[in-house]
Structure 1
Amino acid sequence: MNTHSADAPAADDDRAPRRRRPWRRTRIALGILPAIVGVVAIVGSITPRLSAMVIRAVFTKGGEDTAAEMRGRLTDTKLTERLDVAYADDSADTIMDVFSPASADGPLPTIVWIHGGAWISGSKEDVAPYLRILAAEGYTTIGLDYTRGPEGVYPLAVTQLNTALAYIDEHAAELGVDPSQIVLAGDSAGGQLASQLATLITNPDYADIMGITPSIAPAQLAGAMLNCGVYDLSALAELGGLIGWGFKTSMWTYSGSKDWANDATGATMSTIDWVSADFPPTYISGGNGDDLTWLQSIPMSKRLGELGVEVTTLFWPAPHEPQLPHEYQFHLDLPDARTALQQTIDFLNAHTTR
């Protein structure tokens, strides 16, 4: 098992002017939640929909701000872009964006990225700038949309994403995809979904329990990249305070069940209990200021290591400053986020060939 931790900034320690701190604006946006919790608490105890819509609005604003921040870090590399490609015909949500270097003259190793948003918010547009940055390094990158809760109930998103992989595999040549080198990636809830797809593909017992036939074979997976994700729903259910309320509301909305932690939803979403030695080489990271790092990412990395999976980690000591928030890797004005980006590229270079 490869383990890497860090407490030093990236070599390029050029810091953006203080006025450019969209990640702080995200914190401020999240900070308005206590003021509205009292308003929605009574209704939310009966149905989670109103609370979920409030959470969605806050996350949507944060996602837009973060995407705008990342756009300032784009390179001049010319890309071929295919936007809003339909990978299925049964929903307006089943679309994807595809990015690749304009100079590519053949198929490339491909990163398939699932966006986060607590399973009830977010979109492929939130991660598109990051995927453009990675595509400029010589990869085809694909951002997937899926039906979020409450419009879609678990496991609809999983089946849709599995269909997306089937489409990517079938249309590999026209999309510039090397179907023998697919890296599944995601952030936050998308990290959970990416881990779920990778588990579905590599553990036949899990595929049987889910009742889903994987769209691609284990040999097609070159790796997995899991950022700030959730892998143990029982640990998630123990979270208290505002963060706990937010996740519990989101899970109730996504699953359609208030008892999600104790039913099949929690059991099958907890990929920490289902991963096997055949899980692909994995990069996993989380910020030291993110509770999910300590409750989810570090335990998942340990579990994979115990199984003999090759694991590359990027975690930060508890006292590290600044405290790195949830989804820190997208805030590229932070030197530590640029370290994470370089570690991501190094991982891809180590596990794919062009």
Structure 2
Amino acid sequence: MAQVSIKDNEVDVVIGVLHADMTSFMEEWRPVFSRFHLIIIKDPDLKDELRIPEGFNLHVYTKSDIERVVRPSSASLLLSGYSCRYFGYLVSQKKYIISIDDDCIPARDSDGNLVDVVTQHVTNLTTPATPFFFNTLYDPYRKGADFVRGYPFSLRSGVTCALSCGLWLNLADYDAPTQALKPGQRNSRYVDAVLTVPAKVMMPVSGINIGFDREMVGPALLPALRLAREGNLRWETVEDIWCGMCLKVVCDHLRLGVKSGLPYVWRKERGDAIESLQKEWEGVKLMEEVVPFFQSVRLSRAAVTAEDCVVEIAEAVKQRLGPLDPVFARAAQAMVDWVKLWKVVRTQSPPSVA
């Protein structure tokens, strides 16, 4: 992997915490995380005090911080469970954000080397993406690769990459029905590849392991779609799937790139897929309406920033999906409220919470 120069003031690592004892998690990640500033968001529903080992440069934000910054916005109701990570995105002042869930530990590559997720995400974000013509050798900017015969020279400069979607070993990101039917299935394949997701193609972005350019698309990473009985387990949530499709529409419109592949994390097993099945079924059904909507939505030329794009998408959600289910009308309002909140926090210099 090509090495990039990462300055300390360019990266925040954001961790949403649902489990009080972070000792084992932090020690596993120490070789990577000790080099960077960490933003740790405690789930507002978590009552126990966090236990964090010493030796890290970090800020911890709790329920009182969230309430102080977010109220009276409706967004405060959407920042529980793993959605608390979005508060970290809101208060960060760094160019790049790397977000890792607390049920993941570092993975090892095919040679047994510890995977540095921060360096790989930043590498993806600081090398161009190629969304308008697919390169069959995947990322042409990686060492040992290049553009293949027939690739238009006019497109070889690529575009800015705004989102890097990492993968995971062990427990794959299946939905509850799939995991319930295949309880013993695990992902053990380490594929040493990065590719650009083509323009106008939707994808289920998972917030488990991502990196993004906050300055380019930060406002488009937002909590919005919350199911009536949604819990804190991955199998029970669809908020990051909704967020990811919203973000992909924004990137396509602004001619920004999205990459998927490296880096990997190792994801531990938590929760019961059978118990989660009833909660997630609502989201599984809603996706049949959501995906065609995002595939067809088009934004105006007046939308020139991520904030503009989110507001236009929210209006389309309200008009086209709102009549189908009240959950969509609430999501549309949450998107508008988040953009307003983002602008308020950004005008603070420096923000009182940072």
TM range (shorter): under 0.3
Q: Give the TM-score of the pair, scaled to structure 1.
A: 0.27
